[in-house]
Structures are given as C-alpha cells and as structure tokens.
Amino acid sequence: MKKILVGMSGGVDSSVAAMLLKDKGYEVSGVTLLLRDGGEREAADAKRVCDHLGIEHIMLDFKDDFRRCVTEPFAAAYLEGKTPNPCILCNKYIKFGVMLDFALEHGFDSIATGHYTEKYTDENANSYIKRTDSPKDQSYFLYMLSGFQISHSIFPLLGMNKQQIRELAEKNGLPTAKKKDSQEICFVPDNDYVSYLKSCGCSWQPGDFVDKEGNVLGRHGGTVGFTIGQRKGLGMGFGKPMYVTGIDTERNRVILGDNDELFVEGLYAEDLSFPNGAEQYEGKTVEAQVKIRYRAPLCGAKITIKDKKATVLFEKPQRAVTPGQSAVFYKDDIVLGGGIITGALNN
C-alpha cells in the first residue's frame, strides 16, 4: 500500500483530494505548511478534516523557507518594476520542494495536492505536467517542477470541477465543504500589494508619468503601484484612456500610451525551466503554444532557445507582455517548460 502525504491548506480542494485518495485505499496523511504568521487557522481547519477522515495530521513550519524563496523575491521583483507570480516559486521550492523532501525522508512514496492539473509520463518514463480542460486548470503554475518532483506527485482532482468538489465535500460531511476559496495571493491581504510591500519595509519615491517620447504627463506615487496594461488606478486623468506600457525604475518613470501600444510581436525570457532538462532545446527553434500569463489564452509561437534564454515570436501580436510574469510553453497540452519574461519583442 502506497503512503501518500497530502498538502492540506484547510480549503475544500485539498480536503477532497485527501478523501479521494483514502477511498482508493492509499495510506494517507495530511500536512499543513505554516508559511506565515496567522496560518494556524488554516491548520486547524485541515486538522478537522483529517480527524473526520480518520487520518494523521502533521504541521510543518516552513516560514523561513517561504520568506527566503517566495516573499523576499516577490518584494525585490516589484521594486525592480516587475510583476512577479509568487505561486510559481511556492510550488517549486515549498509544496513540491521542502514538503516533498520531508515526505520522502519520512517514508512516504508520493505527495498529493488539490491542484487542477494532470500528470503525463512518456514512453521514456519522463514525467510532465499536462493541461486540462478545466476552467481552473493550474498547469501554468507548475511549469517549474522537475521531472523528479512530478513523478513523485499525485493530482486526485483530475477531471473534476469546483461544483463537483463542493458536492462531494457536502455529501461526505467534510467540515470545509462551504469554506470560501482563498484569495489570489495568500500572503497579501486584500491583494493590496503596495500596503504589503510597505509592511516589508520597502520604500520608494514619486516620479513622472511620461509618454513613449519622454514627455512628462504627470506625477505618480511610485513605480511599485503599477503593472503593464493597467488603466485604472493611475491617480489622475489624462483626457482619454491611458495605459501603462512600460516601467523604468532607473529613472523612476511610468510610461503611458494607447491600448494599441500594448500589442507586441513576441517576448524574451530567462531563468528557463524544463521538467526534464533544457539541453534538448538549446540552439533549436520549437513550434509550440505559449501562455504569457495565467488567464491569457494559448497562442501559437516559435520559441528559440540560445544560451539558456528564450526568444518567443507570436503567430499574432499579444497584449501586455509583462516582465516578471512567466511565459509557459505547451505542446499538445503538455507543459514543455517556460521562463520569466524579461521584456517585449517588437519587429
């Protein structure tokens, strides 16, 4: 009988994941990761579910790892004018990193999570993440996982939607059946990035709004309050809709322009990650599909890898390519890999 350690956040998805695995006959334990102050409430909800299922509940304090691997890089990226995606780093270094290490060191065969995604293994026993048809598909957030991490992971919610999850939870009396979904980024209260960064001791100075020619249009309160494509919340009016088209932290400028200026031909990406190694792609051009952010549609692209960097040329222009976000590459719904966007490419 396989021993499975289920990451349990105290939400309904991971609760149902644990229940499904137990029903299949696995020896299941639940683990809640304490990643920030105040996380004990989620741990208490997860323990209630484990008690209901009659399985062991474990708590692990990974606050130091979370700060070093997730929240500090998050703050640093914003100060550099980027828009980071911390969930991707959390998956790589925390949930499928130190949590998986703990599981394997303590006799578990695999870990499981409540992610909406699928695992795919090819004829050479290489493991990949696969995109699903679910509107909540989370393959984008898992592109940094290695083949080893994927091979030791289980995703029990494959093929299910949120309504089915909640119905199963209610039918089986799970204490989290009606619990609301968590917010977008767990450690940023009310998704207020600016207030969060201030609480981390970050500081910044007001600067200029400019157009692409460098003409001053007004003043802003600090570049951290903005992201590429943003229209609302600029803090002043310009007589017509204006969008953030660039952020220049060196000169403390936020560049504004028309919506048309947000469409670009491609992008550059670095810090590339491929589940089974990037060497097979070095010096080659691959035709695939790319997502430039989580909620963006897939678009066809030619991806050229050289010197561990990617140049991506879209089949048709894409809107609001944003440094700090991830470009994730797909082939036949398989996640080939991806990288951190460093800039836009315009022919």
What are 276's two structure tokens?
Answer: 């089974």
Separation of alpha carbons 255 and 159, rounded Å: 43
The residues, ordered by sequence, that sit 6+ positions from 235 with a Cβ below 8 Å of its Cβ are 220, 221
For residue 247, report the phi and psi dihedrals to the nearest 5 degrees. Answer: -130, 120
Surface-to-core class of residue 284, CB atoms within 10 Å of its CB (0-12 exposed, 13-18 middle, 19+ buried): exposed
DSSP 293: S
The catalytic position among 69, 87, 90, 200 is 90
Q: Catalytic residue, from 50, 186, 202, 299: name it.
A: 186
Give dist(CA 66, CA 182) in Å, integer: 18
Provide the CA 153 distance to its chain's centre, in angstroms: 17
R_g (Cα) of the chain, nearest Å: 21
Catalytic annotation on 186? Answer: yes
Please tell me the distance from the alpha carbon of residue 114 to that of residue 151, in angstroms, as a whole number: 16
Active site residue 200: no
60: left (phi over 0), alpha (psi -120 to 50) or beta: beta
User: In 3D, which of 237, 231, 224 has the Cα closest to residue 258?
Assistant: 231
Which sequence positions are flagged as catalytic?
90, 186
